[in-house]
Structure 1
């Protein structure tokens, strides 16, 4: 049993970096498979991951808190501040950095946060609040910083199906098939492996996009990647500091640091200079390295406690 636990722990530790390597190496095959599916592989996996996670959440557990309010306020102010600070230096870098802060919390953040010991109800509540708030706030910000027109309905149409439908389906299952929902909730670790599959697809599409991008200078690409790294680390750090004040450092860190990068890339390519999408593209890599380290650290601590 100890051998199996050790093997499972080691697999989890290297799983995310391995998934990113596989996605990068087989980017063309992954992109072709995603195109063949009608771009439905990633949405389907995200739906299933959230369904599994939401089977553990009761609606009465979902209550907005001061932590949620502070997180939303920081995100709203910081995205404008970052853009204003970087615009004199490079408008494209400013757009890329801004979208890395403006992007809502990743839907899969609930899954990762649950694995790291966060309160799942707290994360689920913030996921709903943040994505709805960004759907309202993003068109306002992008109308001043972007090159196109961004509407509330366009962003909401991207968010709502993958956020509201799995929650509704999970609650329906809890009331109609309570034993089935309990079994799914008790086997929530399956969502981690679905996340790995979605990560392979996301990284594959991202790698293909970067390879095919010929309009950006190397200097701009590097600055966008560096800006994404700095903002990724800063948001995880600030989120954890804030979350610690309210008794859940992990929830704070994942809520502010783990972004819906698929939505961020789409917003950048649709309403900003397309080259700016390199920043959220790089953010995908950085945030998953952070998640890998956190899972490794969590498993190491759990192993020590069992000794």
Structure 2
């Protein structure tokens, strides 16, 4: 019975994490300060499995970056004449860089972690410079200058992305026993991500409580988040199919750093736009849960 229960909890970690984030949001809001530490060690464990020399930018990474940047600009100008807030939701959900946890989910799905790591580095670096410029174009002016905006975003990205990457590289080169230990503990990265997810869900619930919004606009925001989420996972998987990196490319383009997206929306745009990335959290992790369950069942069938 105990083994069955542990297996059940492991298979349904992400839905359980989302549910806990909803019902226990005051508790998880109080734990918000732990997120940088969770992300750092989660990525350190994940990057420890990735040989640095095998991280290479490929043609499909360039195409995905094109979708990320020009998809954001296109959807804004297409929808802005009808509803600026929904247009900005689409833009933010497109331009938001790859989640640092994309490599964790890709690893669980037996995808190419080297490819995801390469695009995560490329996507986040490009976002630091593209986002202030993009928001300046659509807003006419922003509260922050281009240089200040780029530096602020880079400041938020660098410690949580490049810090673990550099630490993992040094450990691989100089500390072989520690590297061996970390490689054998990479499973813990998934559960660190689950705790981070509960905290992110709690932040979304807080945003919904703090802002008054009509149900029509709420539905419109949710549908836009759904469309962008589906489109990016679909395009990513299509691009990756030709190079046998379907899982890696789907996660790279579809799994977003929604915490950064919420911060971007609050800093540059209407606070109501933050609800869009909040909805995206539910959508991308609902889809991740589905993928993990399908993958688990396929592995079980192969064993029989």
Please give the TM-score of this superposition, normalised by the length of structure 1. Answer: 0.93
Q: Which residue in 2 is equivalent to 1:61?
A: 54
Please state how far the C-alpha of 1:179 moved relative to its aligned partner: 2.3
Is residue 2:116 matched to residue 1:123? Answer: yes
Q: Which residue in 2 is equivalent to 1:266?
A: 263
Please state how far the C-alpha of 1:191 moved relative to its aligned partner: 0.6
Q: Which residue in 2 is equivalent to 1:49?
A: 42
The 1:232–1:97 alpha-carbon spacing in structure 2 relative to 1, beyond 3 Å, is same
Q: Distance in 2 between matches of 1:243 and 1:294?
A: 16
- Retained in 2: the 8 A contact 1:9–1:299? no
Is residue 2:276 matched to residue 1:279? Answer: yes
1:90 to 83, 96, 120: 83
Please state how far the C-alpha of 1:9 moved relative to its aligned partner: 4.8
Q: Which residue in 2 is equivalent to 1:175?
A: 173
- Retained in 2: the 8 A contact 1:53–1:191? yes
Please state how far the C-alpha of 1:155 moved relative to its aligned partner: 0.8
2:290 to 284, 293, 306: 293
Q: Distance in 1 between matches of 2:237 and 2:7?
A: 24
Q: Which residue in 2 is equivalent to 1:160?
A: 158
Q: Distance in 1 between matches of 2:113 and 2:249?
A: 12
CA-based RMSD: 1.5
Structure 1 unmatched ranges of 5 or more: 35-39
Within-5 A mapping of 1:97-116: 97-116=90-109
Q: Distance in 2 between matches of 1:112 and 1:8?
A: 19
Q: Which residue in 2 is equivalent to 1:148?
A: 143
Q: Which residue in 2 is equivalent to 1:234?
A: 231
Q: Distance in 2 between matches of 1:41 and 1:152?
A: 25
Q: Which residue in 1 is equivalent to 2:202?
A: 204
Please state how far the C-alpha of 1:188 moved relative to its aligned partner: 1.2
Q: Which residue in 2 is equivalent to 1:37?
A: none
Determine helix, strand or coil for the equivalent of 1:63: coil
Q: Distance in 2 between matches of 1:84 and 1:9?
A: 47
- Retained in 2: the 8 A contact 1:56–1:182? no
Please state how far the C-alpha of 1:86 moved relative to its aligned partner: 1.1
Q: Distance in 2 between matches of 1:293 and 1:141?
A: 33
Q: Distance in 1 between matches of 2:254 and 2:293?
A: 18
2:241 to 219, 240, 244: 244
Per-residue CA distance 1:75-106 (angstroms, 9 max, x = gap): 11111111111111100110011100000000
Q: Distance in 1 between matches of 2:240 and 2:5?
A: 32
Please give the TM-score of this superposition, normalised by the length of structure 2. Answer: 0.94
- Retained in 2: the 8 A contact 1:148–1:272? no
- Retained in 2: the 8 A contact 1:113–1:251? yes
Aligned length: 298
- Retained in 2: the 8 A contact 1:106–1:258? yes
Please state how far the C-alpha of 1:217 moved relative to its aligned partner: 2.3
